[in-house]
Amino acid sequence: MREFTPSTTIEVLGKNPGEGNPLISHKFGADGNAFVHDGRVYVYMTNDTQVYNPGPDGTSPTNTYGGINTITVISSDDLVNWTDHGEIPVAGPNGLAKYATQSWAPAVESRVVDGKEQFFLYFANNGAATGVVVGDSPLGPWRDERGSLLITSQTPGASDGRNWLFDPGVFIDDDGQGYLYFGGGGNDGSNSYENTNHPKSTRVVKLGADMISTDGAAETIDAPLMFEAGHVFKRDGKYYYSYSSNFGFGGPIDPNGPPTGAIAYLVADNPMGPWTPDKYAGVIFKNPGNYFGAGGNNHQSVFELNGEHYFTYHAQTLNRRITGGATQGFRSPHIAKLEFNADGTIKEVVGTFDGVEQIRHLDPYRVVEAETIAWQQGLATKRLNAPNDVPQLALHDVDNGDWTSLSSADFGSGTTGVSARVKPLTAGTSVQLRLDDRTGPVVATIPVDGPVGEWTEVGTELDGVAGVHDVYFTFVGPEGRDLLEVDSWQFAKPSLKVEGDADTRCAGPNVKLTVRVTNNESAPVDFVVETPYGTKSFDDVEPGKTRFHPFTTRQSAVAAGTAEVTAKAVVDGHEVSTALSVPYDARTCR
């Protein structure tokens, strides 16, 4: 019998090709908070994987959250291909905020402070307090500027002695004023109608201009059946406060309020509210158990990208697929479109495995981090650099038959090859490429023939791969061995069949530089020629034709140099561009 070796690598197929949910299937993540920056959405999450410890039967003990002191981060610019950015060491003896013991339910915002954009990551230190760390980018590096917890029982107005001080939600209004929403719980044990339906356990407080201090006392939020997960966003001048309702504190539940364990919301005209029961507007999302057969706590965020609103939530879908049914509290991030009625109320979201449509094609001609994944099976990621540096990750624990993929990569008129930065761990490894079908025909094989144990670049040629395709990478090698680690992929960009040449000659006392361009394509090409002595454009140069331009330098001597030529054309319906550096000789005229 093979000896059991503990591993957190998830070997089951946790996300089927074509599904958009859960967002990732190689690890867990809960309480997702979405933050948009420069057209990219980052999702910061409670790192449930930190306490995932499956035994020989593949089942982990129940998640009690106590051992979680890191925040896990993913991001995407298309909402289907998600990049794993690893973990932020927030709390505990190895964390940034060593005075905190846990880090749960993060929230992130940015603002310019002293002329520099800063990023603020708020976190729950279990149920007792809220802290904040500061970064130089959405991915850090992070630092502890405050040196103490931000929200405690000593914060004016924060505590009534029975409410939790966790689940931060941060919002910055158009005037630059920041607000922090926090709190939850509040069961006083009375089993009363009032305590069940109006526990008044959450708060809102103004933040100082530095975003790491508070300004004034916290004010109470009275949301019907309140429990946790307060979050605010603004739309059309209205403020929406969403939250998770409780599961019953023993008293009768008001039928005019939300159901238990659901995401409900209030609408107000001010970020401070007042948030009172008359502002209640309905339910955004019922408990995940209604859709996936696995219930549990509920947590959400709302973000806007390219003029559309989206809703994030978590559910134990991956946990359920691992075990075949039972769940142990390990949650995974999900996404849905958020739509509004004409009166501004929110249309109820239904949980699905479909997720949302990919909003843009993936560009395969840039360097694509290997930890950017649409669907996969059997893989894990590891950090290659120091814990608090801007993260650099790679795929690891790669076995024979494991695979990963990219969704809707746009190859335009066609790629000529693919390369990968890898560290071979076992000789005889290769990577098979397939298009659109994980079990379809192999279109190319990358031999992983570099030195074992050393980072190297490997690749192969490709032909006939054009247009938009899902791309599957399958790893092949000896059974029972770790095959390799993978840092990145990159496909070779197509180029136009164009030529350029240049010469220098004397025209009286001055040097004349002549640059020629030739179109060897089957379609018209636009050229732009740039030199130190001027720029010339040639539009719609016909196939087989050459155009030239003499540049007058007005100098009696010129040094050797290059003319920079850019060529653009539409080939098979796709725009292709090629850049050439055309050398010319030095010349002196007397």
User: Which run of H or E residues covers position 196?
Assistant: helix 193-197
C-alpha span between 354 and 521 (Å, rounded): 42
Catalytic residue among 84, 167, 228, 470: 228
User: Which run of H or E residues covers position 323?
Assistant: helix 317-323
Both tokens assigned to 403:
């695979």
C-alpha span between 134 and 71 (Å, rounded): 14
Total number of residues shown for the chain: 590
Query: Token pair 């130089």 is at which residue?
Result: 136
Task: Please name every residue paired with 76 in a beta bridge, in sequence order, or none if there are none.
Answer: 41
Q: At 342, give phi and psi (nearest 5°).
A: -60, -30
Known catalytic residue at 31: yes
C-alpha span between 133 and 149 (Å, rounded): 10
C-alpha span between 122 and 152 (Å, rounded): 13
At a CB cut-off of 8 Å and minimum separation 6, what does 364 contact?
Answer: 406, 409, 410, 411, 415, 471, 489, 490, 491
Residues 420 and 171: beta-carbon distance below 8 Å: no
Tell me the C-alpha to C-alpha distance, in Å, between residue 219 and each of 105, 182, 205, 215, 558: 21, 10, 6, 12, 73
Catalytic residue among 19, 31, 87, 402: 31
Known catalytic residue at 228: yes
DSSP character string of 239-307: EEEEEEE-S--SSPPPTTSPPTT-EEEEEESSTTTT--GGGEEEEEE--THHHHS------EEEEEETT
Residues 51 and 33: beta-carbon distance below 8 Å: no
C-alpha span between 254 and 85 (Å, rounded): 43
Residue 62 is classified by DSSP as P
Greatest Cα pair distance in the chain: 103
Residues 355 and 21: beta-carbon distance below 8 Å: yes
Q: What is the dihedral of CA 149, 152, 156, 160, to 10 degrees?
A: 170
Check whether the bond before 17 is cis (ω within 30° of 0): no
Query: Token pair 């089942």 is at which residue?
Result: 59
C-alpha span between 71 and 286 (Å, rounded): 26
Which residues are tagged catalytic?
A: 31, 228
